[in-house]
Amino acid sequence: MTSYLVSLLGGALIGLSCVILLMLNGRIAGVSGIVGKVVQGIDVWTNAAFVAGLLLGPVVYFAAFHHWPTVTVTASLPLIMLAGLLVGFGSRMGSGCTSGHGVMGLARLSPRSIAAVLTFLASGIAAVALLRGAFL
Amino acid sequence: MRHTRLRPVAALAAGTLFGFGLALSGMLDPVRVQGFLDVFGAWDPSLAFVLGGAVAVAMAGMASIRRMSRPLLADRFHWPVNTRIDAPLVVGSAIFGLGWGLGGFCPGPAMASLSLGLTPTLAFVAFMLAGMVAHDRFLLGRLS
């Protein structure tokens, strides 16, 4: 139960971050879009600063709680590489990821984002089912 | 251009809060993410609380943002221009979800967990960037 409350609080801070970025800079906090802009060299300082902040977040977490957040990777390295390729390619083609479509898109009630979220939830569920051997 | 120099500062603050929120919520852990997507197995609903909390706060913020004529540090709001539910949106999102499920990482948590210096995360981000560049070079060039 406590872990749900912590998750809810963490989520609320993510939502607050999106509100701050939109209110101050007028930009949607979509991580794939922001990372893509750094790669493309668009508005590099501002976008790179957001990415630097993303990396700083877990460091602040460490300073506060004296332990790193848990990151348990079970997938093999080749599978991780394939997953990275698919995530990078798909997020650019679909104009967003879990943050841009999932948080800001849903908050704006954008039909395009609702369609994107339903689609990536469905294919994510299918991918995990595939990993668990549900289709074998 | 208004307050150009303050915009990276605002972005750094927002990014830090975002990364901290990801760390606190458990979103950095691929096992938790895959547990959330494992609806036919041992389903872990905790990430629904992350998304719920994030969307609720963002929605509340949107109510005030809609009353603003422009952002505090920029000339205008950059809303997405495309409003059509088209093939690239659906196909791209399906490909994204497949990678999300297989690896347990989406772009935000992948970037944030770089600071832990783990090899799988570094590999994931390197290939994520390659996937982005591949899309922009080969697919975007052909479509436009």
Q: How far is A88 from chain B (nearest CA, A)?
A: 4
Say what the pLDDT of residue B3 is.
Answer: 76
Interface test mutation site (partner A, options B86, B91, B95, max chain A beta carbons within 10 A): B95
Say what the pLDDT of residue B118 is.
Answer: 96
Instruction: Give the pLDDT band of residue B138 (cuts 50, 70, 90).
Output: confident
- Residue identified by tokens 């997953």 is A83
Q: B106 to chain A: which residues are within 8 Å by CB?
A: 31, 87, 91, 97-99
Q: Which residues between 68 and 87 in chain A have a beta carbon less than 8 angstroms from any beta carbon of chain B?
A: 68-75, 77, 79-87
Instruction: Give the pLDDT band of residue A135 (cuts 50, 70, 90).
Output: low
Say what the pLDDT of residue B4 is.
Answer: 83
Q: Please determine, for residue A136, whether its predicted confidence score (pLDDT) is greater than 60.
A: no
Q: B13 to chain A: which residues are within 8 Å by CB?
A: 20, 53
Say what the pLDDT of residue A9 is.
Answer: 97
Q: Please determine, for residue B144, whether its predicted confidence score (pLDDT) is greater than 60.
A: no
pLDDT one-digit tens code per residue, A70-123: 999 999 999 999 999 999 999 999 999 999 999 999 999 999 999 999 999 999
Q: Are B92 and A96 in contact (CB under 8 A)?
A: no
In this structure, what token pair is assigned to residue B129? 């960037």
Interface contact A23, partner B, CB < 8 A: yes
Instruction: Give the pLDDT band of residue B143 (cuts 50, 70, 90).
Output: low
Q: Are A21 and A29 in contact (CB under 8 A)?
A: yes
Instruction: Give the pLDDT band of residue B142 (cuts 50, 70, 90).
Output: low
Q: Please determine, for residue A67, whether its predicted confidence score (pLDDT) is greater than 90.
A: yes
CA B4 to chain centre: 24
Kindly state the average pLDDT of the residues B65-88.
94
pLDDT one-digit tens code per residue, A26-66: 999 999 999 999 999 999 999 999 999 999 999 999 999 99
Say what the pLDDT of residue A134 is.
Answer: 62
Kindly state the average pLDDT of the residues B33-54.
94
ipTM of the shown complex: 0.96
Say what the pLDDT of residue B2 is.
Answer: 66
Query: Long-range contacts made by residues A120-124, C-beta under 8 angstroms, separation at least 24?
Result: A120/A90, A120/A94, A120/B93, A120/B94, A120/B96, A120/B97, A120/B100, A121/B37, A121/B97, A122/B94, A122/B97, A123/B93, A123/B94, A123/B95, A123/B96, A123/B97, A123/B98, A123/B100, A123/B101, A124/B37, A124/B97, A124/B98, A124/B100, A124/B101
Q: Which residue in A35, A92, A25, A71 sits closest to B22, CA to CA?
A: A71
pLDDT one-digit tens code per residue, A69-80: 999 999 999 999
- Residue identified by tokens 């841009």 is A100
Could you tell me the pTM of the whole model?
0.95
Say what the pLDDT of residue B91 is.
Answer: 97
Kindly state the average pLDDT of the residues A7-19.
97
Instruction: State the Cα–Cα distance between residues B51 and B13, nearest whole angstrom.
Output: 21
A134 by DSSP, 3-state: which? coil
Residues in Cβ contact with B64 at an 8 Å cutoff, skipping those fewer than 6 apart = A23
Say what the pLDDT of residue A97 is.
Answer: 94
Interface contact B70, partner A, CB < 8 A: yes
Interface contact A41, partner B, CB < 8 A: no
Q: A54 to chain B: which residues are within 8 Å by CB?
A: 15-16, 18-19, 22, 108, 111-112
Q: B138 to chain A: which residues are within 8 Å by CB?
A: none
Instruction: State the Cα–Cα distance between residues A51 and A73, nearest whole angstrom.
Output: 22
Q: Which residue in B68, B62, B132, B121 sits closest to A37, CA to CA?
A: B132
H helices within A1-110, ranges in order? 2-25, 31-40, 44-65, 77-93, 106-107
CA torsion B99-A109-B65-A49 (nearest 10°) is 10
